[in-house]
Amino acid sequence: MEWYEVAFDTLYPILYEHRDIEESDAVAKAFGSLFLDKDPILDLACGNGRYLESISRRGHLIFGLDLSHYLLRACLDSWGHKGLIMQADMRRIPLLTGSVGAVINMFTSFGYFSRDTDNLLVSKEVFRVLRWGGIFLFDFINARKIASSLLEESQRESGSFIIKEKRRLENYGKYLVKDIQAINAQSGTKEQIEERLRLYTMDELIIMFESVGFKIDSVFGGYDLSPFVEGVSDRVIIVSAKK
C-alpha cells in the first residue's frame, strides 16, 4: 500500500488536532471574497470536512472529495454533508469537465505521489473540472523554509499520546520524509506511520500550474493574507484562475 492510503486514519486527529474548525473558519473568512459567484465549490482532499463546514456556513454549495474512508466518516459524524462528499483519488476527480466554479486544496494536501507526473495529473484534473473563470485556492508548506531549518527529531504530547517525529530529506531535498510514532501513554501500545511529501518550491508550483493552463493571480505567505517571502513564510498559498 502507498503511505497516503495508510496515514490518514485513526491517528490523524491525534497528530493534527490543532488543524481545527477555528482555523478553517478564519481562513474561509480571510479568503471569502474569492468564492463569490463560484458555487459549486470542490474541496479536494477535504479530510474530516472542516473546510466544507466553514465554507458552507458562509452560504456556499461545496462538495468534498477524499480517499480516506475514516476521515469522510468523521466528516459525516461531525458535520453531516451527506450526499456532498465522495471517496475518490485526487488524480481522477469524478466530476464533469467545467462543472465547478472553485477548487480548494488546503493544508498540504498535494505532492503525495512518488512520480511527478502523478502530482501534475492532479493539477490537470483541477483545471479540467473548473469552468472558465473558475479559481483554484492552493495551500502548501514553504519547501525552502522547511528544508533550510529541518527539525530532525521532536517529541510532543497530544491527549493521552506521546508523539515522536523524525524528519529527513531524500533525493537531494526533493522529498520530506517523516517517521511518526504515537505511543499511548496509558496502554503503552505503539503505532507507526510514514509521511512522504514531494517538497515543491513556490517556483516549481507556479511553473506546474502555468503549464496546465492556469493564470497565477496572487501568492500569499500565510492564512492572514501576508505576502509570500521565500525562506520566511510558513505557507505558500497560490490563487490561480482558469481564464
Ligand X SMILES: C[S@@+](CC[C@H](N)C(=O)[O-])C[C@H]1O[C@@H](n2cnc3c(N)ncnc32)[C@H](O)[C@@H]1O
Binding window for ligand X (CB under 6 A); candidates: 77-85, 100-108, 185-193, 205-213: 100-108
User: In angstroms, rounded to a whole number, what is the distance separating the alpha carbons of residues 125 and 131?
Assistant: 12
Closest to ligand X by CB, 74 or 130: 74
- Interacting positions 102-121 with ligand X (CB under 6 A): 106-109, 112
User: In angstroms, rounded to a whole number, what is the distance separating the alpha carbons of residues 14 and 81?
Assistant: 23
Contacts of 67 (CB under 8 A, 6+ apart): 4, 5, 8, 45, 87, 88, 89, 90
Least distance from ligand X to the Cβ atom of residue 112, Å: 5
Least distance from ligand X to the Cβ atom of residue 234, Å: 15
Based on the shown chain and the rule CB under 6 A, indicate whether residue 19 belongs to the binding site for ligand X. yes
Based on the shown chain and the rule CB under 6 A, indicate whether residue 4 belongs to the binding site for ligand X. yes
Interaction mask 24-53, ligand X, x per CB under 6 A = ---------------------xxx--xx--
Based on the shown chain and the rule CB under 6 A, indicate whether residue 60 belongs to the binding site for ligand X. no
How is residue 67 written as a grid cell?
480517499
Least distance from ligand X to the Cβ atom of residue 186, Å: 27
Based on the shown chain and the rule CB under 6 A, indicate whether residue 184 belongs to the binding site for ligand X. no
What is the DSSP track for 162-199?
EEEEEEEEETTTTEEEEEEEEEETTT--EEEEEEEEE-
Least distance from ligand X to the Cβ atom of residue 71, Å: 5
User: In angstroms, rounded to a whole number, what is the distance separating the alpha carbons of residues 214 and 197?
Assistant: 23
Q: Cell match 503503552: residue?
A: 188
Binding window for ligand X (CB under 6 A); candidates: 64-72, 145-153, 164-172, 178-186: 64-72
Number of residue whose CB is nearest ligand X: 47
Based on the shown chain and the rule CB under 6 A, indicate whether residue 125 belongs to the binding site for ligand X. no
Contacts of 158 (CB under 8 A, 6+ apart): 14, 15, 17, 182
User: In angstroms, rounded to a whole number, what is the distance separating the alpha carbons of residues 154 and 15?
Assistant: 13
- Interacting positions 66-85 with ligand X (CB under 6 A): 66-68, 71
Contact in structure between 146 and 130 (CB atoms under 8 Å): no
CB atoms within 10 A of CB 221: 20
Closest to ligand X by CB, 19 or 164: 19
The residues that touch ligand X, with contacts defined as CB under 6 A, are 4, 8, 19, 45-47, 50-51, 66-68, 71, 89-90, 106-109, 112
